[in-house]
């Protein structure tokens, strides 16, 4: 394990190769999750060509005129919660974000049982008329889903559990959510301004796997101070979410982070959320760690350790606040 900017770097290739070094990787993951809640992932095996193609096609989309982007507005995605939103339409911690973006998820046909039942966050994606973008997004989500299972196997080992612990139940049918964000450049890097690309927040689920371009701008709260998650070539940034915090009784903490783009040019980021199944019941994992119930230690003064129910219950309560107007009609 190497380290930069207080965020560890973990080579996870032994997990994919099933070598005897998997225990060392598990230890590195445990240290990262306990100390910062963030870590860079190398040795992941995701094609660089695929990543570059995704970035190029995404740039093409955001360069379109507003009317063409609006052709796939999220209002048209219905309960599947898919499509495009404009700068300022998404809220984080009640504040408008300075970003525009595309929402995707696992591609499900209209006759899929969950689509027929009208389960929110499930259904078809909305794709713009850009050649190869649909195929590239779906290929990328497949690759990241495989990586998500690999990383969760490493996290299971890091907790002293069988590698298949999460996949056997919690992520047998994971909720897959994928975003492509474009952050226009911001003028000021001053801490006094409220203009954030994304305000301080934690993620909802188990694991976020982020590809970011070369612009930088992601900041992580580490030991009560903010550090830059500088882009590292061929490395993803991973962080754990509220549900893993809840399940490990606070041993693995969902760490606040935020974004401000002062690079002078547009920034692209590609967060992939690998989360519990929508109907999965959130239960503590067997650890010897006593529950951390101090709500004051959370950035938002909320106590996630009080939550009981399915992941669907938790995520719907959260996303309904992201787009309040849309949430009332679609969820």
> What pLDDT, in 10s, does the model give residues 257-293?
999 999 999 999 999 999 999 999 999 998 766 655 5
Is it the case that residue 79 has pLDDT exceeding 50? yes
Is it the case that residue 93 has pLDDT exceeding 90? no
Rounded to the nearest angstrom, the gap between the alpha carbon of residue 60 and the centroid of all alpha carbons in its chain is 23
Percent of the chain exceeding pLDDT 70 equals 90
Q: How confident is the model at residue 225 (pLDDT cuts 50, 70, 90)?
A: confident
For residues 214-235, average pLDDT: 92
Q: What's the whole-number average pLDDT of the chain? A: 90
pTM for the full predicted model = 0.93
What pLDDT does residue 224 have?
75
Number of domains in the chain: 1
What pLDDT does residue 188 have?
59
Is it the case that residue 114 has pLDDT exceeding 90? yes
Judged by DSSP in three states, 193 sits in coil
Residue range(s) defining the domain that contains residue 7: 2-330
We report the CATH number of the domain holding residue 314 as 2.60.120.330
Bridge partners of 100, per DSSP, are: 182
The answer to whether 297 and 46 have CB atoms below 8 angstroms apart is no
In sequence order, what are the residues at sequence separation of 6 or more whose Cβ sits closer than 8 angstroms to the Cβ of residue 151? 12, 15, 29, 41, 207, 209, 238, 274
The DSSP symbol for 21 reads T
Is it the case that residue 5 has pLDDT exceeding 70? no
User: 122-131, 168-177, 209-218, 285-294: lowest mean pLDDT where?
Assistant: 285-294
Burial class (CB in 10 A: 0-12, 13-18, 19+), 265: exposed
Structure tokens at 134: 């649909």
The answer to whether 166 and 277 have CB atoms below 8 angstroms apart is no
Question: CA 35 to CA 239: how far, in whole Å?
Answer: 12
Question: CA 222 to CA 242: how far, in whole Å?
Answer: 16
Question: Residue 116 CB: number of other CB atoms within 10 A?
Answer: 12
> Which secondary-structure segment (H or E) carries 141?
helix 133-158
Q: How confident is the model at residue 165 (pLDDT cuts 50, 70, 90)?
A: very high
């Amino acid at each position: 394990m190497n380290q930069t900017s207080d965020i560890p770097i973990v080579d996870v290739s032994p997990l994919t190769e099933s070598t005897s070094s998997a225990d060392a990787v598990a230890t590195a993951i445990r240290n990262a999750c306990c100390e910062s809640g963030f870590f860079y992932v190398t040795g992941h095996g995701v094609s660089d060509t695929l990543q570059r193609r995704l970035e190029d096609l995404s740039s093409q989309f955001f360069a379109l005129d507003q009317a063409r982007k609006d052709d796939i507005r999220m209002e048209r995605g219905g309960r599947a919660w898919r499509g495009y939103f404009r700068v300022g339409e998404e809220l984080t911690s009640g504040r408008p974000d300075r970003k525009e973006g595309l929402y995707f998820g696992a591609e499900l046909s209209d006759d899929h049982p969950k689509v027929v039942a009208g389960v929110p966050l499930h259904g078809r994606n909305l794709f713009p008329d850009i050649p190869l973008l649909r195929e590239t997004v779906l290929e990328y989500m497949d690759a990241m889903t495989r990586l998500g299972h690999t990383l969760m196997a490493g996290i299971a080992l890091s907790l002293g559990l069988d590698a298949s612990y999460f996949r056997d139940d919690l992520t047998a049918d994971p909720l897959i959510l994928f975003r492509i964000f474009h952050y226009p450049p911001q003028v000021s890097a001053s801490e006094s301004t409220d203009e954030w690309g994304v305000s301080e927040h934690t993620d909802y689920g188990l694991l976020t796997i982020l590809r970011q371009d070369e612009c930088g701008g992601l900041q992580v709260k580490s030991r009560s101070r903010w550090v830059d998650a500088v882009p590292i070539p061929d490395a993803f940034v991973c962080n754990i979410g509220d549900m893993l915090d809840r399940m490990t009784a606070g041993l693995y903490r969902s760490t606040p982070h935020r974004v401000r783009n002062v690079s002078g040019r547009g920034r692209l980021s590609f967060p992939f959320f690998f989360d519990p199944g929508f109907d999965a019941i959130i239960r503590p994992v067997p650890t010897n760690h006593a529950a951390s119930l101090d709500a004051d230690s959370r950035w938002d003064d909320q106590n996630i350790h009080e939550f009981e129910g399915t992941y669907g219950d938790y995520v719907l309560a959260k996303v309904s606040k992201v787009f309040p107007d849309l949430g009332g009609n679609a969820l």
